[in-house]
Amino acid sequence: MTERLTLCIWATSRWTRFPHHPFTQACYKKSLAGMDGVVSVFPSEQKKLQTTRSWDFLGFPQQVPRRPIESDIIIGVLDTGIWPELDSFSDEGFGPPPTKWKGTCQALTNFTCNNKIIGAQYYRSSGVFGENEVKSPRDTNGHGTHTASTAAGNLVSGASLLGYGLGTARGGVPSARIAVYKICWFGGCSDADILAAFDDAIADGVDIITLSVGGRIPHKYFEDASSIGAFHAMRNGILTSKSAGNYGPDLATITNDSPWSLSMAASTIDRKFFTKVQLGNNNIYEGISINTFDLKNEMYPIIYGGDVPNTRRGFNRSDSRYCKKNSLDQDLVKGKIVLCDVRTTGEGEFLAGAVGTVMQGRARQDVAKSFPLPASYLHLEDGSKVYSYINSTRGATTTIHKSNEGKDAFAPYIASFSSRGPSPVTPNILKPDLAAPGVHILAAWSPVSPTSGFKGDNRLLQYNIISGTSMACPHATGAVAYIKSFHPTWSPAAIKSALMTTAVPMSATKNPEAEYAYGVGNINPLKAQNPGLVYDIDTLDYIKFLCGQGYSTKLLQLVTGDNSSCSKDINGTVFDLNYPSFALVTSSSKSVSQAYNRTVTNVGSPTSTYKAILTSPLGLKIKVNPSVLSFTTLGQKLSFALTIEGIIDKFINSASLVWDDGTFQVRSPIAVAVIDV
């Protein structure tokens, strides 16, 4: 019988008990921490939501080898719900749900499950619903529909965002089933609801959980709802795929960083969008956006936001230059195009009645967005020329053209928004784990949610192009499901290892944060199906790791539900956790000496000999003992030690270990960094 989570949390200004263990005492603020059966006490925060080309770009075409068992794989999607009537979720050709499925579909008049979407529930621990919120698993936001279809959507030809990204939309595992757990609403995603959904998903019989939500502030593992839920899922053989976060490019901004989860960074694909701004003097400047609006080359007056503050509402030039919401004078803006000194959401200009907006700034131009009005974001150099034109020309005019879709030959690289490592909780575990496409991803969308996300935007469509680590996460989920269809008995850690050791290495030249931007590299689902060797980790290994991190026996037992305890024999260092990557973080340049112990399991050829191939930068001496691993059977385990010695004086020192038998190349990155976390 599945163990159930127990947690008392602070929710909506009252103490709320999270049920499920036979623990019935009321929870009170002053006494919670000392009560029996309470895993942890922490505020119930509101977490944020963080394919026509992306799967092909990964070298994972429609015609890859597949197993019939793929249709028995159940993906639990914890998100904003789903729009079930879309073609991406049709159950045509699907048989009944797998016999292992124990979940339900909440009986509602406005939502029906089918043999593709086999279960759906919604959670609202506060009991408070907004005026426009739908009390059902139906998605009125679009985010959950997008992530679900990226992971497991059906093949739908002719999908596009009004012609952009035109092609066949598909998920990584189109035959897989989807179980929906709606945890996110207009105000965010409650910790209490996240835990409740994990609890149900585990009991329902899902095989994988995908969670594209997260907070901004890092927490200890057992003070974080998703880490607790993912640990419980791991104990039941379920891998949880998570988004790394959208707070890059600063270092140590990753928050979904538990070692038993898969933490995904967002990489680019070779799709890019360009939007031209043409001035009345015929000068043309190229910016970025996804602009589907057609002004038909008509020229409109252009004004500078700083010149039209809404003084009646108390705003001045320093506000209106950034086009903040309500900061622009509607009487002066209506019918004109506004130049703003920052990349905005477009909301301020839209509400003020602008025809369009030209934005200027220094932010990287790697991610194009949709806006509720014609828009283009220019680099500051070009934006300053537009500003000069406005100031030097009486009756200055401009127009904004529809976007052009082009090829980004620089791809793949990590998006500027993608949260970076090291992990603030455990810096010596390399995070993020992997990268996957998370930029300009076309997937299914809720047809009641505006394309730009703003009320008044009348583009209500069935597909949308958006970006975020939330988009990278379901790509990993689809890849996990694909591997599991070939290896249904593999542990979560074995599947994770297969993805990590077969990833395509990425360039530190394109990403100065190197492994702390992209982890082991860009995901390669096809190769991961047959990795050769895996670094496996079981629950006891994680318990040893947690003991070494200072977690108490009492806390461990509450989470594990068994007699786990910390002792001299069950107390491991972070360097001995059997992770498929190696990391060492120090706060200052100095001499280092560190040993790591690892064990690999043979899942490739029964008889094989692997030789260690090491690459290391100047100043570091890396050794492996033994340097040759000879296997005689499948499933055989062999151990080795890796040592790092030397002087580190660079920001990040990148190295790697590859176990090579002539057929399989099992790669693990080694990152040694001087970072004050």
Query: If you search the block for the tokens 């150099």, which residue do you land on?
Result: 381
Q: How far apart are CA 517 and CA 499, in angstroms?
A: 17
Radius of gyration over alpha carbons of the chain, in Å?
26
Strand partners of residue 591: 647
Q: How far apart are CA 416 and CA 153, in angstroms?
A: 28
Query: If you search the block for the tokens 């959507």, which residue do you land on?
Result: 153
> Helix (H, G, I), strand (E, B), or coil: what is residue 117?
strand
Would you tell me how many other CB atoms lie within 10 Å of the CB of residue 362?
11
Q: How far apart are CA 415 and CA 392, in angstroms?
A: 37
Residue 502 exposure: Cα atoms within 13 Å on the Cβ side: 26
Alpha helices (runs of H) in 323-397, residue ranges in sequence order: 330-333, 347-351, 380-392
Check 125, 143, 329, 564 and give the catalytic one: 143
Q: How far apart are CA 520 and CA 509, in angstroms?
A: 15
> Helix (H, G, I), strand (E, B), or coil: what is residue 468?
coil
Check 54, 72, 79, 212 and give the catalytic one: 79
Would you tell me how many other CB atoms lie within 10 Å of the CB of residue 81?
29
Give me the phi and psi of 49, to 5 degrees please: -75, 110
Percentages of the chain per state (helix, strand, coil), in multiples of 5: 20, 30, 50
- DSSP E strands in 58-212: the ranges are 74-79, 117-122, 156-161, 164-169, 177-182, 184-185, 188-190, 208-211
Are 366 and 414 contacting, i.e. CB atoms less than 8 angstroms apart?
no
Amino acid at 253: T
- Residue 355 neighbours by CB under 8 Å, 6+ apart: 295, 300, 335, 336, 337, 373, 374
Are 397 and 299 contacting, i.e. CB atoms less than 8 angstroms apart?
yes
Amino acid at 95: G
Q: How far apart are CA 533 and CA 140, in angstroms?
A: 43
Q: How far apart are CA 94 and CA 74, in angstroms?
A: 13
Check 470, 491, 616, 656 and give the catalytic one: 470
DSSP state letter for 223: G
> Helix (H, G, I), strand (E, B), or coil: what is residue 594?
strand
Q: How far apart are CA 244 and CA 253, in angstroms?
A: 9
Q: In the annotation, is 660 catalytic?
A: no
Amino acid at 227: S
Element (H, E) at 371: none
Are 204 and 21 contacting, i.e. CB atoms less than 8 angstroms apart?
no
* Angle 530-173-488 from CA coordinates, rounded to 5°: 50
Q: Answer positive or negative: Cα dihedral of 88, 92, 98, 104.
A: positive
Peptide bond into 450 cis (omega under 30): no
Would you tell me how many other CB atoms lie within 10 Å of the CB of residue 23?
18
Q: In the annotation, is 193 catalytic?
A: no
Are 28 and 447 contacting, i.e. CB atoms less than 8 angstroms apart?
no
What are the DSSP calls for 29-41, one per residue? Answer: TTTGGGSTT----
Q: b vs e for 477-503, b when ≥16 Cβ sit within 10 Å of the residue's Cβ?
A: bbbbbbbbbbbeebbbbbbbbbbbbbb
Supply 12's token pair.
Answer: 């909506």
Q: In the annotation, is 143 catalytic?
A: yes
Are 110 and 104 contacting, i.e. CB atoms less than 8 angstroms apart?
no
Q: Give catalytic residue positions.
A: 79, 143, 470
